[in-house]
């Protein structure tokens, strides 16, 4: 090897020899590094929950193979209409064949939807969690009461007081417990929004079946539309 290195300058010149030696050293170091694992810190853009995002509607065990996700918003009238249809669709197939999962995304033009969604997660994690869909459906019905036009002269405290009355009436949760703890669910609501955005969701409702976005956009499938689509997927 030493003899070869002595002869190299005569054939390719001093500068080329330096370059060649540099390459040889680099290759040698690369060989030494083979098999050595470099550390890498995994840092997701959104919090990873201890269970998948979303709230299952009438969950069955074992979990069905077909999962229909509806990403909605608590004060969205389009979400309200499609939610009613999706419940009918699950009743048609049975919760042993179709798993329905509600995801949440707050829209920027619904003034009090962020607060309302915080309330949804509060109910989900409370002693009256079984009432979470009652809270959702009452939020739909009360959406106009929480609109910008209806609350433009109200403070957030006044809106929260009204929301606390609704939550107490529909779920039985203590109003003070609701209003005092609602801000504990800001992070939940942000994470749900980020999860939807990471999946390129821009409108509500948006639908996924087994993780595939359906491309419905602002369309409004009927019960029959859903059955026609899902029959071949669910099978007998």
Condensed to tens digits (0 to 9), the pLDDT of residues 145-170 reads: 999 999 999 999 999 999 999 999 99
Which of 173, 91, 193, 162 lies closest to 131, judged by CA? 173
97 in the same domain as 20? no
Check pLDDT > 90 for residue 10.
no
26 versus 85: the higher-pLDDT residue is 85
Q: Is residue 43 part of a domain?
A: no
Q: How confident is the model at residue 131 (pLDDT cuts 50, 70, 90)?
A: very high
Q: Is residue 187 part of a domain?
A: yes
Which of 227, 2, 14, 204 lies closest to 103, judged by CA? 204
Q: Is residue 119 part of a domain?
A: yes
68 in the same domain as 7? no
How many structural domains compose the chain?
2
Distance from C-alpha of 47 to C-alpha of 53, rounded to nearest angstrom: 10
Model's pTM, two decimal places? 0.83
The domain in which residue 94 lies consists of 55-234
3 versus 119: the higher-pLDDT residue is 119
* pLDDT value for 222: 97
> How far lies 218's CA from each of 60, 158, 175, 221, in Å?
30, 33, 36, 10
CA 151 from centroid of its chain's CA atoms: 28
DSSP 61: S
CA 125 from centroid of its chain's CA atoms: 17
Which of 116, 121, 128, 96 lies closest to 192, judged by CA? 121
Q: Is residue 42 part of a domain?
A: no
Dihedrals φ, ψ of 212, to 5°? -100, 125
Average pLDDT over residues 95-109: 97
Complete DSSP assignment for 162-199: HHHHHHHHHH---HHHHHHHGGGGHHHHHHHHHHHHHT
115 in the same domain as 221? yes
118 in the same domain as 81? yes
CA 117 from centroid of its chain's CA atoms: 13
Two tokens, residue 55: 């709230």
* pLDDT value for 32: 45
Q: Is residue 50 part of a domain?
A: no
Q: pLDDT tens digits, residue range 44-86?
A: 988 899 999 999 999 999 999 999 999 999 999 999 999 999 9
Q: How confident is the model at residue 99 (pLDDT cuts 50, 70, 90)?
A: very high
Check pLDDT > 70 for residue 5.
no
Q: How confident is the model at residue 8 (pLDDT cuts 50, 70, 90)?
A: very low
Check pLDDT > 70 for residue 24.
no
Q: How confident is the model at residue 37 (pLDDT cuts 50, 70, 90)?
A: confident
Q: Is residue 41 part of a domain?
A: no
197 in the same domain as 158? yes
């Amino acid at each position: 090897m030493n003899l070869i290195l002595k002869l190299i300058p005569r054939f390719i010149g001093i500068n080329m020899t330096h370059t060649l030696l540099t390459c040889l050293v680099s290759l040698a170091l690369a060989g030494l590094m083979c098999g050595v694992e470099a550390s890498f810190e995994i840092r997701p853009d959104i919090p990873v929950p201890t269970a998948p995002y979303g709230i299952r509607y009438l969950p069955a065990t074992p979990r069905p193979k077909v999962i229909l996700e509806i990403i909605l918003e608590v004060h969205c009238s389009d979400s309200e209409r499609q939610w009613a249809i999706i419940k009918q669709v699950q009743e048609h197939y049975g919760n042993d064949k179709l798993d329905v999962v509600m995801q949440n995304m707050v829209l920027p033009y619904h003034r009090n939807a962020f607060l309302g969604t915080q309330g949804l997660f509060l109910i989900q994690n409370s002693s009256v969690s079984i009432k979470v869909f009652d809270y959702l459906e009452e939020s739909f019905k009360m959406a106009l009461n929480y609109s910008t036009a209806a609350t433009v002269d109200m403070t957030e405290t006044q809106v929260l007081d009204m929301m606390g009355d609704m939550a107490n009436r529909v779920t039985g949760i203590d109003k003070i417990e609701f209003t005092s703890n609602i801000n504990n669910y800001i992070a939940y609501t942000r994470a749900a929004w980020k999860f939807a955005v990471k999946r390129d969701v821009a409108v509500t409702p948006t639908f996924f079946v087994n993780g595939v976005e359906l491309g419905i956009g602002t369309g409004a499938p009927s019960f029959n539309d859903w059955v026609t689509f899902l029959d071949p997927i669910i099978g007998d």
